[in-house]
């Protein structure tokens, strides 16, 4: 999905920063430092305000288009970025398992945060567990295995469901990577 006008303008503004090497088009570059160096040098209270105002009008799906710039924005204006995530956490429909998937994966860094967003994430996570069990949606179950990690051991019904789907390569990989240290039966899953 192409970003809306406000998102496109902000992304265009961010991409207009030049890296030290004119051939480099990366946000972060191990050779020249990338565009982030010019961005940080130009960062002023006015630019922070411009970014914050733009983020107030950007949707979660638009923010996902920012790629590596999202990390930079999270450092510079963390509350504005969290605001986009919080709006999405409140808006995600429990009927849309793909939207739940995307949000839980993209926002998992907020899972343990003691904030309004952290609490909204936890609430959506609890609801997603119920939805996954009821719908038996393998993608959502896989996402929950990845997000919960060893904490899935506290959710017996969800764990049983995930194990019943072990014939699917992605589920096998998720179970192996998340639980091999805690659950002997997944240690023998073949690495792919």
pLDDT in tens, 16-60: 999 989 899 999 999 999 999 999 999 999 999 999 999 999 999
Q: What one-character-per-residue DSSP string does 35-58 give? A: HHHHHHHH--HHHHHHHHHHHTT-
What span, in angstroms and rounded, lies between the C-alpha atoms of 141 and 138? 5
Domain presence at residue 147: no
Sequence-separated (6 or more) residues with CB below 8 Å from residue 181: 150
Residue 57 lies in a domain: yes
Structural domain including 40 reads 1-89
Domain assignment of residue 12, yes or no: yes
| pTM, two decimal places | 0.84
Look at residue 125 and tell me if it is in a domain: no
In a domain? residue 27: yes
Domain count, the chain: 1
Query: Does residue 98 fall inside a structural domain?
Result: no
Residue 141 lies in a domain: no
Helices (H), the chain: 5-15, 35-42, 45-55, 60-63, 69-76, 78-91, 97-106, 116-135, 138-148, 156-164, 169-179
């Amino acid at each position: 999905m192409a970003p809306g006008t406000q998102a496109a303008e902000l992304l265009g503004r961010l991409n207009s920063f030049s890296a030290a090497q004119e051939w480099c088009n990366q946000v972060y570059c191990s050779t020249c430092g990338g565009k982030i160096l010019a961005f940080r040098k130009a960062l002023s209270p006015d630019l922070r305000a411009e970014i914050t105002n733009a983020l107030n009008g950007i949707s979660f799906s638009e923010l996902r288009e920012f790629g590596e710039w999202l990390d930079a924005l999270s450092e510079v204006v963390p509350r504005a970025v969290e605001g986009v995530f919080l709006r999405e956490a409140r808006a995600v429909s429990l009927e849309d398992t793909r939207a739940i998937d995307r949000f839980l994966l993209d926002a998992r860094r907020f899972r343990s945060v003691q904030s309004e967003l952290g609490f909204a994430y936890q609430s959506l996570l609890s609801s997603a567990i119920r939805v996954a069990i009821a719908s038996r949606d393998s993608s959502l179950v896989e996402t929950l295995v990845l997000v919960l990690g060893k904490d899935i051991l506290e959710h017996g019904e969800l764990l049983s469901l995930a194990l019943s789907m072990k014939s699917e390569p992605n589920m096998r990989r998720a179970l192996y990577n998340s639980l091999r240290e805690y659950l002997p039966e997944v240690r023998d899953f073949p690495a792919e």
